Amino acid sequence: MNPKEDRLDPSLLKPAELNQLIELVSREERPALVGREGVRIELPDPIFHLLVNTVRQMQQGRAIILMPEDETFTTQAAAALLGMSRQHLVELMEKGEIPHHRVGTHRRVTLKDLRAYQEVRDKGRRESLGRLFKKIKEAGQYDADYTGDAG
């Protein structure tokens, strides 16, 4: 995919154009695309909600990058996406925790597999934090009224 075609930077939109988008997603009527010839295609709800979320992210100044699930990443790019070192990512790949394939001598991993790993990792983190919170609460060490002020 051409980098200019898959990235939508909200700073490229004029304020009036961004306001038009905000107005568009706040309407009550059934969303649709209308072509130059006047052909109207109603949008399915999931696509409409994706567009609404995209506009909200842009409203907050965030760039939007569109990428197919089967897009492949180098180990360096994948590690950056996951917020870890490249070496740690390679170790996870070699242990079979993240599926990958080789192109010559280089490892590649798909966006779909990276997202699946993220979900499993994040679920594990939430469960661990939940168990820790439960232990702290059971031990009477949790104070919901604590403000952080030194006594």
Output the pLDDT for position 13: 77
Whole-model pTM: value is 0.64
What is the structure's pLDDT at 56? Answer: 82
In this predicted structure, what is the pLDDT of residue 17? 79
11 with 61: CB under 8 angstroms?
Answer: yes
* CA-CA-CA-CA torsion sign (99, 105, 111, 117): positive
Largest CA distance in the chain: 71
The bridge status of strand 106-110 relative to strand 101-103 is antiparallel
Domains and CATH numbers, the chain: 7-65 (no CATH), 72-138 (1.10.1660.10)
CA distances from 29 to 23, 40, 88 (A): 12, 13, 49
Ordered per-residue pLDDT tens for the chain, 151 residues: 344 566 667 777 787 877 777 777 676 677 788 888 989 888 888 888 888 888 888 888 888 888 899 999 999 999 999 999 999 999 999 999 999 999 999 999 999 999 999 999 999 999 999 999 999 988 888 776 666 665 4
Measure CA 38 to chain center: 34
Question: How many angstroms separate the CA atoms of 107 and 76, rounded?
Answer: 10
C-alpha torsion angle, residues 21, 25, 31, 36 (rounded to 10)? 0
